Structure 1
Amino acid sequence: MSEPTQPTFDVRGAVDLSALNRPQAPPPGEDGGAPAAGGYVVDVTDESFPQLVQDSAQYPVVVLLWIPTDQANAQLGTELGDLADEYAGRFLLARVDAQAYPQVAAAFQVQGVPTVVAVLQGQPVPLFQGAAPSEQVRAVLDQVLQAAEANGVTGRAPAQTGDGSVPAAAEPAPEPEPELPPLHQEAYDAIERDDLESAAAAYTTAIKQDPKDALAVAGLAQVKLLQRTRDADLATARAAAADAPADVDAQLAVADLDLLGGKVDDALGRLLDLLPSADADGKEKLRVRLLDYFEVVGPTDPRVGKARQRLAISLY
C-alpha cells in the first residue's frame, strides 16, 4: 500500500441488504449468535464513526460491514472476533450494522454484506466481500498489518467496551521488559556510554557463539553504521559523491548517512544503481554493505524484499 492520503469516504449510495432474506441467527451475545462486542471488538455507531477513522492513524482498524442476525454474517463476525482476540490489539475489529447505520455502511461504498474493509491513516482499503476460509482471512489480516507497519501505523488498539470506550480499569499494567542475554546487555550498555568498539566486540562474540542469533547480527550491523558515520559530515560527503559518481567509497559514505537519517529508499537505491557499472571489487563492497543495510532496516521490511531482488539480478 502506498502512503495513505486523506479519507475518501463517500456517504452517497446504498448497501444491498438482501442478506435479510437468508437464514437468521440470534443477536450478538446470545447463544448461537456472534459474540458481543468488547475486548478488541467494537460496534460502530454514527457518533463513534469519526473517532474510529481518527484512531486508524494510530493502529489498524478492520471494519466488518454486516447484518448481525444473518447466519453467514454472524459466522464471519465470530471468526474475525476470535482473530481480533488472538492478535490482542494489533488491530481493532469495528463492526457496522449496515441495517441500523446505513450512512456509515454507505461511506465505504460497498454493494453487499458481509464486507470487510481496513482503515489505515483514515484511508479505506477494501479487503474482501462474503465468507472466506479462516486461513485466507488470517493471510489477509497479516497483509494489512504489513501495510500498516510500512506506513508507520504501529500502535496497538486498547481493549474496549462494546460502545467503543476504553474501560476505566481495563488498562493492563505494563509488562516488565524481558531480560537481554548477557552479551546483548553488554552491547546495549556499551552503546549507552558511546563505547561502540566494545558494543561491536560483544555482538561479534554473541554471533560466534550462535551464528543464528539474528538480533546480534542486526545489532552489529547497526553499531558498524554508527562507527562509520561517527565523524562524517553530510555536506562534505554529498559533495565528494557528486564529484565522483562512480567512486564506490564516496557513494557508500553518503548512503550510510542517508540510512542513519531514515532515508532508506535513498540509501538502498544509491547502492543498487551503482552495482551494474562497478568492477568486481566494487560489486563486493556494495553487496556486503547492502546486506548490512538489510539487517539494519529489518528483513521483513518490504523495501528490503524489493532491494534483495534487485541485488540478485545485478549480481547474477
Structure 2
Amino acid sequence: MSDEFLFAEEDPENALAENQLPYPILIVDDDEEIHVITRMALNDFRLDGRPLEFVSAYSGVEAQQLLQERDDFALVLLDVVMENDHAGLDVARWIRDTLKNRMIRIVLRTGQPGQAPEEEIIARYEIDDYKEKTELTYRKLVTLMYCSLRAYRELRTIEANRQALESIIEASSELFSASSIRQLSQGILQQLVALITHADMAAYCQIDSLTAEREADSAYEIIAATGHYQQNIGQLLQQQIHSSVIKELTQRKQSVCFILRRHVYYGLYSTSAGNYYLLYIEGIKQLSDSDQKLLELFMNNTAIAFEHAQQHTQSAG
C-alpha cells in the first residue's frame, strides 16, 4: 500500500460532487482477504469524480446470480480457481456468450501462475486483462482501474450514440406529430449528453405559463431524458429544482439562457407563446463555447419543433 498513485486526479479543480453515482465493481474470489485488500486499496479511487461501489461474490455461481440481477457493473475482477479449476473462465464465457454483455470489463486474476498460459487465455476468452495476484500491487491495481473504467466509459458513450441515432432515424419519418418530435428530441439529447458529459443524467422539460413569481408551483413535465430520468418520460421531474436559479434565468428576459451551478446545467428557452423549456443536466465538469452552442441549438430547435407540432395538430383538428 506504499506505492504512490500513477495518475493524478483528472482536473481536480472541477472535481464532481461526492454524491455522483459510483462505478459498480464486482469482486469474485473465494478468498475473503482478496476482497478486503482490494477494497482498501481502491477506497479513495475516483474517475470523473465518481467513486467505486464494491459488490462481492465468493463463487462462480454467486457471481452469475448477481450479474443476472443487475446489468450495470462496469468491471469484474474475476478469480480463475474457485469451486473448481476453471470456474472463473466459465463465468467469463457465460458473460459474453449467454448474457451477451459486451460492456462490462473482465479482468481475470489467478493465484496459481502458469496454470494456463496468458496468451492462450486471452485468445480463447473475450477478456480485457489477465493478471497474477502477486503482480497486482497498489500502483498496478490503480492503473488497471483507470484503463478498464475509461474503456467502459467510452463503450457506454458509443452505445448511447447508437441508441440515439436509432431514435432519430425512427422519428424522421413523421416530423409533424408531437410523439415523433419527442422521439427526435430524445435521440438528440442522448447524443448531446454523451458528447458533452460522461455523466449520463439529463432531463428536458416543458413548462406551461411559467413566470418568476409562480415558479415554485410550476410542473416540469419530462419530454426527453437520459440515465435514471429516462424511465420518467411523460411524468413530472421529481428532482429538486432550485427556484432561485429559474427565477434568475427568467429575469434575464432572453429567449435562451443558462446557468451552471455545482456541476448542474440549467438551460431555459422561452417561446413567443409564453411557454418555457428547461434543460437540466447533472454532472457537467466543464462547458466549452462549442458545447454551449450545441445545447442552445438543441433548446431552440426542439422548442420550435414542438410549437409547430402543436399548431399543426390544432389546425388539423
Please report the TM-score for the alignment, with normalisation by the length of structure 1: 0.29
When you count strand as a share of all residues, which structure comes out higher?
2
Instruction: Pick the structure with greater CA Rg.
Output: 1
